[in-house]
Structure 1
Amino acid sequence: MFQRLSRIVPLLFLAGALHSCSEYQKVLKNEDVKAKYDLAQKYYEEGDMKRANRLFEQIAPKYIGKPQGERVMFFFADTYFQRGDYNMAGYQFERFVKSYPKSEKVAEASFYGAKSYFELSPRYSLDQTDTDKALVKLQGFINTYPDSEYFAEANEMAKQLTTKKEHKAYEIAKQYHKLGEFDFTFLNPAISAFDNFVTDYPGYIYREDAMYYRFESATQFALNSFDRLQPERIKEAKADYADLKKQFPETKYEEKANKLLGRLAAEQQNFTQEKETK
Structure 2
Amino acid sequence: MYKFSSFIIFLFLIILTSSCSDYQKLLNNGTTLEKNNAANEFYESGDYRKAKNLYVQLVNSFKGKPQHQRLVFFLANCYFQTKDYYLASYQYENFVKSYPNSNRVIEATYMQAKSQFMLSPRFSLDQTETDKAIDLLQIFIDKYPNSEYTPEVNSYIQQLQEKLEKKNFEISKQYYTIRDYRAAINSIDNFIADNPGTIYREEALYYKFLSSFEIAVNSIIQKKNQRLKSTEKIYLNILKYYPESIFKEDLDEKIKIVNKELNNLN
Q: Taking structure 1 as reference, are residues 19 and 260 closer, same or farther at Cα in structure 2, changes over 3 Å only?
A: closer
Q: Taking structure 1 as reference, are residues 131 and 12 closer, same or farther at Cα in structure 2, changes over 3 Å only?
A: closer
Aligned to 2:165: 166
CA deviations 1:60-94 (Å, max 9, x no partner) are 13333322221111111111111122222122222
Aligned to 1:218: 212
Aligned to 1:4: none
Q: How does 1:112-127 map to 2 (within 5 A)?
A: 112-127=111-126
TM-score for both structures, normalised by structure 1: 0.77
Select 2:234's aligned residue among 235, 240, 259: 240
Select 1:192's aligned residue among 181, 186, 195: 186
Aligned to 2:3: none
Q: Structure 1 CA distance, aligned partners of 2:262 and 2:69?
A: 73
SS at match of 1:159: helix
Q: Structure 1 CA distance, aligned partners of 2:186 and 2:64?
A: 55
Q: Identify the range of structure 1 (106-115 vs 237-246) with the bigger mean alpha-carbon deviation.
A: 237-246
Q: How does 1:34-183 map to 2 (within 5 A)?
A: 34-180=33-179
Q: Structure 2 CA distance, aligned partners of 1:253 and 1:12?
A: 61
* CA displacement at 1:164 relative to structure 2: 2.6
* CA displacement at 1:162 relative to structure 2: 2.6
Aligned to 2:243: 249
Q: Structure 1 CA distance, aligned partners of 2:192 and 2:82?
A: 40
Q: Structure 2 CA distance, aligned partners of 1:155 and 1:117?
A: 14
Aligned to 2:18: 18
Q: Structure 2 CA distance, aligned partners of 1:86 and 1:74?
A: 14
CA deviations 1:163-203 (Å, max 9, x no partner) are 333333222222221221xxxxx111111222232223333
CA deviations 1:77-118 (Å, max 9, x no partner) are 111111122222122222222222222212212222222232
Q: For structure 1, which runs of at least 5 residues remain unmatched after alignment? A: 1-6, 181-185, 274-278
Q: Structure 1 CA distance, aligned partners of 2:129 and 2:220?
A: 44
* CA displacement at 1:11 relative to structure 2: 7.0
Q: Taking structure 1 as reference, are residues 81 and 222 closer, same or farther at Cα in structure 2, changes over 3 Å only?
A: same
Percent sequence identity is 42
TM-score for both structures, normalised by structure 2: 0.80
SS at match of 1:189: helix
